[in-house]
Structure 1
Amino acid sequence: MMFNKKNLIPVPVLLSLLIFILILDLPSQAQETIKFDDYFLDKAMRINFYQVGQAKEEQIIINNIYQEPIWPESKTNLTNPFNYGHYFIKVYEVASNQLIYAKGFDCIFGEYKTTTPALNGVSKVFQRAIRIPWPRRKVNLVFEVRDKKNILHPLAMETIDPDDYHLIKENNQPQDYVLEIKKSGPPAEKVDLVFLAEGYRAEEKDKFVSDAKRFAGYLFDIEPYRSNQEKFNIYVIFRPSAENGMDEPRQKVYKNTVLKASFNAFDLDRYMLTEEGFLLREMAAEVPYDAIIVLVNSKRYGGGGIYNDYCITTVDNQASQAVFLHEFGHSFAGLADEYYTSEVAYNDFYPQGVEPLEPNITALLDPEHLKWKDLVSPGVKIPTEYGKEEIDQLQAERRTNFQEMTKALEEAKKKNLKEAEIKKIQKKYEDRGKATQEKIKAVQEKYRYLEDKVGAFEGAGYASKGLYRPMMYCLMISSPKIEFCRVCQRAIQQMIDYYSH
């Protein structure tokens, strides 16, 4: 059976039906009353669906529903204590109207609808798959989406009978090379990570396994992962690609790879994603997994991470370690980007006057109830002055100087000036750049005492003004050390505990 939009209940009808469904705004309130075995079998239900639309309209179209042989996630934390994700999936038992499962998530479409093409009405289709425990009885599956004020609204609903013969219950035996590289306990009581190979040829299987072990090591080199190693199971899945690497559209390079990973996501040069959402989950389901990491066999800089979907990174760039840890922070713990000077493709990703969902940035609308108030260092003022205005101005001068140097050198070459003259021009701009850098260092030195302090530092979430991060440095912005700030460490720890209890 192909589930399509005719099967999904339209929103006006859905709104009426939801009057009869017990909507629990605080899922944790129901958590104590839900016993896994009363409502679910120890299997998973994977729902493959399409998200279709643009900035003003979107649809959920279910493609197929599959049974997976085991439910690897927590059997006690069924109604997700976190309020992360711009979308939510909620499962209600039909007979009792009881909310029995809930989880937030993000998706490629959620990012796409903030881009200029989507705002101009250009519709696109993206694959996504989500997973719920296999229900014992008939359930209502409700998709919810947030508005610009982060309030959840129903988007679509599907009634699912677990005995429906249209549900696909294939015996999904692994077709790929599968290796367990770390075993700490039962899947439902541990964080289960799976590394998938992308852009590795058949003869490079050993390299992939070595890369996966190396990247697992990167996790356990830093806190809070280092202190929680016994809470992780780790698997690798290798499926060979016909060619190395991934697509690089701006360079007109296209590779035949398993997951069709590509740079230039949303036309951003360094942003890499895969849109093969169905295949991604089908491969991952060969093992018990909570989180997916795609390793791409390339030396190029870049990657991507989407909350409760997947993390993807290249493996052989000098910055691959930091990129991986940063992107996994997105996909695993729901952390926000803390940088604000780099190019992004989004428009109004964090609307003014609305508190972000993520645990590591804030609009500081209510300083007395700062979400990390208990971690603020004694004596540090909120908001926290750290020389930002001076540094931003100096960095702007440095960028302008670099642009002017590039233009001047191009003009000099067009005029066929002698090498000595070209070097003289270059030195003039380089000296100017060095002088600016010294001024930046002087400002940074003035505020160096704040480097290990928690406060509220303006500049985060792609915005120079109006959004704040907890510390000056962190892997979610940039850091002279490979480490997360204390607020991000706590958020990661909470997610580890969620999956391992």
Structure 2
Amino acid sequence: MKFIVEAAMSKKILILFGLISSFCLGLAQDLSFERYFHNQALRLDLYQVGDAKEEFISLHRIFLEPVWPEPLTGLIQPFDYGRYLIKVYDVASNQLIFSRGFESVFGEYRTTSPALAGVKKAMERSIRIPCPKKPVTLVIEKRNKKNIPYPFFELTIDPQDYHIIRETPACGDAVIEKQRTGDPHEKVDLVFIAEGYLSSDQEKFKTDVDRFTDYLFKVEPYRSHKDDFNIYGIFRPSVERAMDEPRQRAYKKTILNASFNAFDLDRYMLIDDNHRLREIAAQVPYDTIVVLVNSSRYGGGGIGFDYCVTTTDHPSSLQVFIHEFGHSFAYLADEYYQSEVAYNEFYPPGVEPLEPNITALLDPDNIKWKELLSPGIAIPTEYGKEKLEAWQAERRTLRQKQMEEIEGAKKAGLPEAKIKAIQEKYQAKDKEIQAKIEAVRKEYSHLADKVAAFEGAGYASKGLYRPQMYCIMGSNQRGEFCKVCQWAITKMIDFYCGRLR
């Protein structure tokens, strides 16, 4: 096993590796799965360790899984997605025979203030490759701040190695087959996994799987592709319901250790036990994972090509799910920019984001969704942004004052009638501001269905642009994806169904 550290990489190595990868990519377009791989998967349980300045990957274990669920075509990833890249080379010929991109929780952590301050952490991440017939070299590449990939982890894998764990994936969990429409190689295989359900909650989990599946297929483009999905559920009971809420000093003993306050953001929930998550999921063929957390709390999270997680019983849980699934399944970026986040320059200025639905607009004449642009619309597109932001800022200030005044009134022991009067005073002012916001939106309502370039996306008010004014990945006012996100989701569905190479 060999580690290649960022600080030690020279420009010559980067250039040479890029040339080799490009050459191998050209050779590998028409690879035969049967020539190089068994219809099984190798799961590598890894640890990512480090901070913002340095990162190491350590291999924990390798498992043999009984089926490779992804298509037998498209072995070389057709998307330039992922801040990390997996590349598999045949040892005998040095030919690139498999590639995929991925994201990780650690990749997000590297952009947070603690990581920038040098606080090192270790986080779990599992990756999968089809099981090779002969020895291979697995290389993990990481992108630098300009999104240029370079290799920093390398491992030679002999499929005959007795250290590869070949135990049965069956764990005695209850497996639900919600919908099966065909061969896993030709379908999107989605698995829902239970978190924070007691043994007595199994029927509730089944109902939740039904409810979330039904909602998924009410939203385009999933609705038009219902028959392209196999849907499973896996139920393993927890000792306690719900999940951890560190700010409330509430800790629950659950299977996956789901926790809010990820990166100290109150509404952000992630899974600590990624290895166990993949162990549970391996009981069925799966391409994508959704974790359902048995709670009425608001929030969730999604990691590209890993998993998404949401609570089940908040009034907005279904909407949170469809948003977070956009991250994990289709690699969609957040299109909002005014909410609190924990990241520092998640998208470095002057660098084109990898995600398909936001752009830095470095080349306006060749915007990544050029084929979907509405005719006759200026790029970038004016939509009353400055006016909207001013009124929205005033409303946030007003609501903060309301909260402080009501809190002071309660501490002073004022009667309920006085507190209600304070609330009504601020509600009247809030209504006035909302009317002004709606007036601006009405002024630009002719742009509501247009595909253009609207500034404000990816947590940045300036310098990043989204395709439409409204989208599930940003403002969810309409409850639908913008046309660019629908296009990107459809491409991902086509990929897993073997229609895109």
Q: Shorter chain as normaliser: what TM range?
A: over 0.9
Amino acid at match of 2:147: N
Which residue in the other structure is 1:355 paired with?
352
Question: Residue 496 of structure 1 aligns to a residue in which SS?
Answer: helix
% identical equivalent positions? 59
The 2-side partners of 1:198 and 1:20 are apart by 42
Amino acid at match of 2:41: A
Deviation at 1:280, TM superposition (A): 0.5
Residue 8, structure 1, aligned to residue 2, structure 2: yes
Question: Residue 42 of structure 1 aligns to a residue in which SS?
Answer: strand
Question: Residue 2 of structure 2 aligns to a residue in which SS?
Answer: coil
- Aligned pairs for 1:98-113 within 5 A: 98-113=95-110
Summarize deviations over 1:187-238 as a string: whole Å, max 9, x none: 1111101110001111111110111111111111111111111111111110
Which residue in the other structure is 1:4 paired with?
none
The 1-side partners of 2:282 and 2:15 are apart by 32
TM, length-normalised to structure 2:
0.95
The 1-side partners of 2:147 and 2:9 are apart by 23
Amino acid at match of 2:472: L
Q: CA contact under 8 A between 2:63 and 2:164: conserved in structure 1? A: yes
Question: Residue 318 of structure 1 aligns to a residue in which SS?
Answer: coil
- Aligned pairs for 1:305-384 within 5 A: 305-384=302-381
Summarize deviations over 1:351-385 as a string: whole Å, max 9, x none: 10000000000011110000001111122111111
Residue 48, structure 1, aligned to residue 45, structure 2: yes
Which residue in the other structure is 1:148 paired with?
145
The counterpart of 1:173, out of the listed 144, 158, 170, is: 170
The counterpart of 1:214, out of the listed 203, 211, 233, is: 211
CA, structure 1 residues 422+71, in 2 after alignment: closer, same or farther (shift >3 Å)? closer
- Aligned pairs for 1:113-128 within 5 A: 113-128=110-125
Amino acid at match of 1:300: R
The 1-side partners of 2:3 and 2:361 are apart by 39
The counterpart of 1:231, out of the listed 225, 228, 233, is: 228
Question: Residue 305 of structure 1 aligns to a residue in which SS?
Answer: strand
The 1-side partners of 2:178 and 2:205 are apart by 12
Deviation at 1:450, TM superposition (A): 1.0
Residue 443, structure 1, aligned to residue 440, structure 2: yes
- Aligned pairs for 1:183-198 within 5 A: 183-198=180-195
Deviation at 1:164, TM superposition (A): 1.1
Q: CA contact under 8 A between 1:27 and 1:81: conserved in structure 2? A: no
Which residue in the other structure is 1:3 paired with?
none
Q: CA contact under 8 A between 1:307 and 1:330: conserved in structure 2? A: yes
- Aligned pairs for 1:263-302 within 5 A: 263-302=260-299
Q: CA contact under 8 A between 2:28 and 2:96: conserved in structure 1? A: no
Amino acid at match of 2:249: K
Residue 494, structure 1, aligned to residue 488, structure 2: no
Summarize deviations over 1:56-93 as a string: whole Å, max 9, x none: 00000000111001111111011110111110010000
Amino acid at match of 1:259: L
Q: In terms of mean alpha carbon deviation, does 336-345 or 21-30 score higher?
A: 21-30
The 1-side partners of 2:298 and 2:367 are apart by 35
TM, length-normalised to structure 1:
0.95
Deviation at 1:275, TM superposition (A): 1.4
CA, structure 1 residues 352+203, in 2 after alignment: closer, same or farther (shift >3 Å)? same
Q: In terms of mean alpha carbon deviation, does 100-109 or 164-173 score higher?
A: 164-173
The 2-side partners of 1:18 and 1:372 are apart by 29
CA, structure 1 residues 9+36, in 2 after alignment: closer, same or farther (shift >3 Å)? same
Q: CA contact under 8 A between 2:44 and 2:61: conserved in structure 1? A: yes
Q: CA contact under 8 A between 1:239 and 1:258: conserved in structure 2? A: yes
Deviation at 1:405, TM superposition (A): 1.9
Q: CA contact under 8 A between 1:193 and 1:235: conserved in structure 2? A: yes
CA, structure 1 residues 448+263, in 2 after alignment: closer, same or farther (shift >3 Å)? same
Which residue in the other structure is 1:464 paired with?
461
Structure 2, unpaired ranges of 5+? none
CA, structure 1 residues 28+314, in 2 after alignment: closer, same or farther (shift >3 Å)? farther
The 1-side partners of 2:471 and 2:23 are apart by 31
CA, structure 1 residues 111+17, in 2 after alignment: closer, same or farther (shift >3 Å)? closer
Q: CA contact under 8 A between 1:139 and 1:160: conserved in structure 2? A: yes
Which residue in the other structure is 2:73 paired with?
76
Question: Residue 259 of structure 2 aligns to a residue in which SS?
Answer: coil
The 2-side partners of 1:21 and 1:380 are apart by 38
The 2-side partners of 1:367 and 1:26 are apart by 30
CA, structure 1 residues 368+10, in 2 after alignment: closer, same or farther (shift >3 Å)? closer
Which residue in the other structure is 1:129 paired with?
126
Question: Residue 23 of structure 1 aligns to a residue in which SS?
Answer: helix
Q: CA contact under 8 A between 2:358 and 2:466: conserved in structure 1? A: yes
Q: CA contact under 8 A between 1:8 and 1:61: conserved in structure 2? A: no
The 2-side partners of 1:307 and 1:428 are apart by 44
Question: Residue 270 of structure 2 aligns to a residue in which SS?
Answer: coil
Which residue in the other structure is 1:89 paired with?
86
Question: Residue 46 of structure 2 aligns to a residue in which SS?
Answer: strand
Q: How many residues align?
A: 495
CA, structure 1 residues 120+206, in 2 after alignment: closer, same or farther (shift >3 Å)? same
Q: In terms of mean alpha carbon deviation, does 379-388 or 338-347 score higher?
A: 379-388
The 1-side partners of 2:384 and 2:211 are apart by 38
The 1-side partners of 2:422 and 2:190 are apart by 53
Amino acid at match of 2:459: Y
Summarize deviations over 1:25-53 as a string: whole Å, max 9, x none: 48864443310001001110000110000
Q: In terms of mean alpha carbon deviation, does 7-16 or 132-141 score higher?
A: 7-16
Amino acid at match of 2:194: A
The 2-side partners of 1:426 and 1:36 are apart by 66
Question: Residue 311 of structure 1 aligns to a residue in which SS?
Answer: strand
Question: Residue 394 of structure 1 aligns to a residue in which SS?
Answer: helix
Amino acid at match of 1:272: M
Deviation at 1:180, TM superposition (A): 1.0
Deviation at 1:17, TM superposition (A): 11
Amino acid at match of 1:379: G
The 2-side partners of 1:112 and 1:293 are apart by 21
Question: Residue 209 of structure 2 aligns to a residue in which SS?
Answer: helix
Q: CA contact under 8 A between 2:134 and 2:159: conserved in structure 1? A: yes
Q: CA contact under 8 A between 1:337 and 1:477: conserved in structure 2? A: yes
Q: CA contact under 8 A between 2:193 and 2:233: conserved in structure 1? A: yes
Which residue in the other structure is 2:390 paired with?
393
Structure 1, unpaired ranges of 5+? 1-6
Q: CA contact under 8 A between 1:30 and 1:79: conserved in structure 2? A: no
Summarize deviations over 1:291-338 as a string: whole Å, max 9, x none: 011000111110000011001001111111110000000000000000
C-alpha RMSD of matched pairs (Å): 1.8
Deviation at 1:480, TM superposition (A): 2.1
Question: Residue 126 of structure 1 aligns to a residue in which SS?
Answer: strand
